[in-house]
Structure 1
Amino acid sequence: MYDWDALWHEHAGYRTGYTGDKNDLNELAEELSGTLVHPAKDDAGVAVYDSGDSFVLVGRGNGMQILDVPKHALFDITLRFVTEDEGVDTPLPYVEILVDNLATGDEAAWRGEVTQGDDGAPLVAGCPLRSTTPPDMPFAELSFSRGERFRAALQQLWQEDIPQLKPLMDARFKGEKAVVMDADSQQLPDDARTREMLERYAEIIHREQAVLSRKFSDNELHLIAEVLRDIHFESAASCRGVWLAVEARLVHDELDRKLEVDAQSLLERMKALSFAQEVALIEALSPLRETQEG
């Protein structure tokens, strides 16, 4: 579910000492009024208890220590600049902010149309980039929408991350086209513009893969990888609609039974993927296919 060891070390400054009588990390459910959801493998490990609104991590470091992590603080934010129709009402192009929290089950999206001001500078939902007051982003669906930590994260996103999309926005309005590379070429053009585009592509894929890792289980990813094993995507456009290939294999080979996967749930989530997420899924599973074939 989460990298508990990473959380334990990243928030070391927030740990408190435990002075109870028990010394077994995995036997503190009653004392902590929680349920053990992740036992410590050994004395160097971390035990995790679900206490309702928080996860309580217990480990050792100058004695037994406790780290309380509120579930509402475990949100993830994904930023996208969307230029292709994905079936939403917001006019193209637009900035999309996706928020999900696996611990609370919350997820929501905000979209702001990108336009040009009188001076040609990009506006997001009518606001200049890095303006002191960001556009209204209510995220009313989220149980933690008014939380201080979440609001601070949105402010940082507005001031630091969204302005980094400006070159893409400018390119969109100038009508720039993506560089078309020769599919038979083994060497990519070594110019600054191409490297810049590849870096952006890699960042988009990285962000989308982070979201996908929480949307699909390991068995589901193995199933998709098995389906993609023999598929060759001849063009970027051919990456759209991966769920159709998965559905066909489910019908003919019953991979869902072999891997104990809920086929209907998997297909519903795959149908909801954006084009960028489908590409990210293919990119993520390509190494897995190569490993399996080897």
Structure 2
Amino acid sequence: MSVHTSGTAHRSRARVHLRTRLGAMGILLLSLSLSLSALIARPAHAADVPARGSAYMGMGVIPHDGQDGLPTPGDATQTEGVDVSSHQGNVAWSTLWSSGVKWAYVKATEGTYYTNPYFTQQYNGSYNVGMIRGAYHFATPDTTSGAAQANYFVNNGGGWSKDGKTLPGALDIEWNPYGAACYGKTQSAMVTWIRDFLNQYKARTGRDAVIYSATSWWTQCTGNYSGFASANPLWIARYASAVGTLPAGWSYYTMWQYTSSGPTVGDHNKFNGALDRVVALANG
């Protein structure tokens, strides 16, 4: 009787031990599963988001529109240009001029919180070598109003004068590098924000600003709104061998950003016309 009792007790303890181990394994597997789910669902770490002010024209084009080739060179009806920001630092403008670049846009501002520390060297340097140049503003519609950003832009380098060498300011409105692609705005609210910027810019300078954007962003975030096409020149971003479909309302582009050449040179662009048409846009 005692032997039987001992064996039964041993088997009972073994079963308890097994259940304990299985329970522990289950808890471990559940913990791993929850950890994996949390990792998958976790938003991008703050370290993955660039610092405010570091955005530049075309920052979102490569990941969204890709790059599948360059335009055929040697088109005499187009004029080469560049756009630069603080990423390029002090630019060797004479070298660019010698390579055939005849116009430039320089980032002046972003939101109502950032001015380009290299703006003076870039804006005046391009002018001094003979280029026709203008300034651009990187829009952040989630931070302040369109009118407030237009004022900030004009007050910090984005103005215009009829000297034959100054292009109208450009509104860079594209993918949000700091968060949601459309800055948390509905399509109608985005159109309203852009309209407020454009109206205030014209009130301050007398010129209609250039709109820089990509067709895919414009379609997603404005509903492919066509109402600005009659007044505002289009600067289309498309890193490809052709511009492709333009946003609604525009039957042609004024400028085309066709490639990004890296931090030392800036992005390259073609003006849709000979140099005299660049001068015409500058003069209004």
Which range, TM-score by smaller chain? under 0.3
TM-score for both structures, normalised by structure 2: 0.21
Larger-gyration structure (1/2): 2
Higher relative contact order (CA 8 A, sep 6+): 2
Q: TM-score, normalised by structure 1?
A: 0.20
